[in-house]
Amino acid sequence: MANFFAHETAIIDEGCIIGEGVKIWHFSHIMPNCIIGDKCNIGQNVVISPEVVLGKNVKIQNNVSIYTGVVCEDDVFLGPSMVFTNVINPRSAVNRKNEYAKTIVKKGASIGANATIVCGHDIGAFAFIGAGAVVTKNVPDHALLVGNPAKQMGWVSEYGHRLNFNDEGIAICPESNQEYQIKNERVERIK
């Protein structure tokens, strides 16, 4: 017996592995051989293409398309109507299914409403992609990106707050009090 909820209008194709506590809402389609981790929430009108992998506690808002080649690690947030691509130069008359590029969204990253992630570009752990951004390159851990094309505007904590580094390269998250250090254009949590 399944330990997940799927609305009666949702379609789940064969070969999918759906974790415990998952919720799949109205008119969503989970295509063949997907892996959906425990406690994921898949909003209305979401399409998850074949062989996509979602970690635990991934939150997908309404009208999101996740194409083959995408892997989302644990605790990823995908905002309303954001989209991934999977081919660099799509053409209707040219079959490029053997050219799907892989995109990894690492643990705790958030991607805002209407953002586009061009395939083959990974999103770092706890990165924050602003609404409407178009990501055309790899994104470092904890980076804050906005705009089209997306440009880095700073750094964020695991709780999603902008980090302000002192002269020693230390910043404190105002919500969690976690400490972060910036060194060689890389940010990591130290406490």
H or E element at residue 135: strand 134-135
Model pLDDT, residue 7: 98
Token match 């635990």: residue? 56
Do 92 and 178 belong together in one domain?
no
| Claim to verify: residue 168 and residue 152 sit in the same structural domain | no
Query: Measuring CA to CA, how many Å separate 187 from each of 77, 116, 144, 145, 178?
Result: 20, 24, 12, 15, 12
Do residues 4 and 22 both lie within one domain? yes
Which tokens belong to 180?
């972060």
Q: Which of 47-56, 62-71, 88-97 has the lowest mean pLDDT?
A: 88-97
Same domain for 170 and 87, yes or no, is no
The pLDDT-based confidence of 40 (bands split at 50, 70, 90) is very high
State the residue range of the domain holding 137.
Answer: 1-156
Q: What is the pLDDT of residues 112-128, one digit of tens each?
A: 999 999 999 999 999 99
pLDDT at residue 1 is higher than 80? no
Nearest Cα neighbor of 68 from 119, 11, 14 is 119
- Residue 188, pLDDT score: 94
In this structure, the answer to whether residues 123 and 188 fall within a common structural domain is no
- In this prediction, residue 97 carries a pLDDT of 86
Answer yes or no: are the C-beta atoms of 164 and 177 closer than 8 Å.
no
Q: Are residues 53 and 122 in the same domain?
A: yes
Say which CATH number the domain at 11 has: 2.160.10.10
Residue 97 and residue 74 share a domain: yes
The stretch 141-145 carries a mean pLDDT of 98
136 and 172 share a domain? Answer: no
Does 178 lie in the same domain as 125? no
> What's the whole-number average pLDDT of the chain?
96
Q: How many domains does the chain have?
A: 2
User: DSSP label at 47?
Assistant: E
Tell me: do 181 and 151 sit in the same domain.
no
Same-domain check for residues 152 and 175? no
- At residue 16, the pLDDT reads 97
Which pLDDT tens digit goes with each residue over 71-93?
999 999 999 999 999 999 999 99
Q: What is the DSSP string of 114-134?
A: T-EE-TT--B-TT-EEPTT-E
Residues 84 and 135 in one domain: yes
The pLDDT of 141-158, averaged and rounded, is 98
- Residues 136 and 147 sit within 8 Å (Cβ to Cβ): no
For residue 181, the model assigns a pLDDT of 98
